[in-house]
Structure 1
């Protein structure tokens, strides 16, 4: 296995968090990164709070063995619901909807995420804390159908279908909330669809929660060789070979090790 020096560790249960790895690698090109696809715990979004906490605790413990400078839980739902309860030996970050930033430029905002996030009491409390009196101008919207377009590869291999699906989703959203002018892409899968959003509704402003986290990680990280080490857990239902095939379909070349 290739060696890394005080890497930034990034993890999630699915494919979406690789967007975070690409962004970190682009913005901090000399930092080493360890990327864990925790497929043995897939999907995070369908777990109870106790199950999710146990899965995230396990991933953090595994990554701690690589002596990271910091760990990024690159999944919105657990970042909002259980991050503060996770024990970590190094600074631990999550990705949360950039509600304040979106409200600064838009009268109304839609937070797009998986069902477990948008229906959670924790997200409602987070929005109230971030938006204050403007909380009624923030709308949580279930975008699980769009997440599936990424997870199953449709966004790459069924482009016309994906274009139509995203356009229909946004038409429905704006039919319900016609004053929405900004979207937070609060599933790490959704940035993969950024071009589709921009094509369907170029007037909407898009906010990626990952972008703000990079600047928080920068001062904690240390120079390395720019190496990206990939790790994957597996079960009989979600074998590592299947995940490797997904990366290949996306044109991603990664030194990936089963742990």
Structure 2
């Protein structure tokens, strides 16, 4: 494990995921707490989380948490920005941690309330999330008696790829067509859906396209709950955002730097290795 030399930071909040999607959470935290220092880790060497077995994902998340806990200065809290590990393995990996770990999970309870007595909810996520037994158990727990039948688990991997590839930036017309086709299929199969949760870190980047394709649906961002959860752990600093990135020959740091530039983000980006 290599520990990067960080600039002077004050009790930074750490945010991590395997892709660019989690920068949306970084931006949300930065806007809510402009003086908060943030360490943003993009673990590209582990991309995609959704393609791993549960034992592999558990090991990956444990190593990443270990790495972030060892930073100097140590984070005041760590945000696991991805829904997949938050739902499937995080319960087993946070025991005994020295600092608070905040997860991002589908806001099923809120979505059902917004959907009304007869409306349905679509949880949009990657394949490994929406086909997992852990998500089924989570939905049952969050829905309450007799309500889980109104929750539809929908694979949105094709939409996630629009963000990961950068298509939503350089081909907005094509992106809107793909999103509109996806929404049309969703509504054709589940016409009672009134609310959808954007349960992949990538999907909030597509919210404008989703709202244009389906202006009568409510789209909920699971990341919204992060603000309230980390508020007790925030400290006034310089408002700096420092990026860390792991890399492989297929996912070099320079390519990730280019992806950030496409969305107008320029931050210090330090390559690291998590062993």
Match of 1:35?
40
Question: What residue ranges of structure 1 are gaps of 5+ in the alignment?
Answer: none
Match of 1:189?
202
Deviation of 1:3 (Å): 2.0
The CA distance in 2 between the partners of 1:82 and 1:192, in whole Å, is 25
Contact 1:32/1:224 (CA < 8 Å) preserved in 2?
yes
RMSD of equivalent CA atoms = 0.8
What SS does the corresponding residue of 1:17 show, helix, strand or coil? helix
Deviation of 1:62 (Å): 1.2
Match of 1:115?
127
The CA distance in 2 between the partners of 1:86 and 1:29, in whole Å, is 30
Deviation of 1:69 (Å): 0.6
Match of 1:83?
90
Deviation of 1:220 (Å): 1.7
Match of 2:53?
48
Question: What residue ranges of structure 2 are gaps of 5+ in the alignment?
Answer: 1-5
- How does 1:74-223 map onto structure 2 within 5 Å? 74-87=81-94, 88-106=97-115, 107-132=119-144, 133-223=146-236
TM-score (norm 1): 0.98
What SS does the corresponding residue of 2:242 show, helix, strand or coil? strand
What SS does the corresponding residue of 2:197 show, helix, strand or coil? strand
The CA distance in 2 between the partners of 1:149 and 1:256, in whole Å, is 23
What SS does the corresponding residue of 2:251 show, helix, strand or coil? coil
Deviation of 1:250 (Å): 1.8
Alpha-carbon deviations, 1:18-53, whole Å to 9, x = none? 000000000111111000000111110000011101
What SS does the corresponding residue of 2:147 show, helix, strand or coil? helix
Match of 1:68?
75
Contact 1:4/1:229 (CA < 8 Å) preserved in 2?
no
TM-score (norm 2): 0.93
Deviation of 1:65 (Å): 2.1
Question: 4+ residue runs of structure 1 moved beyond 6 angstroms?
Answer: none
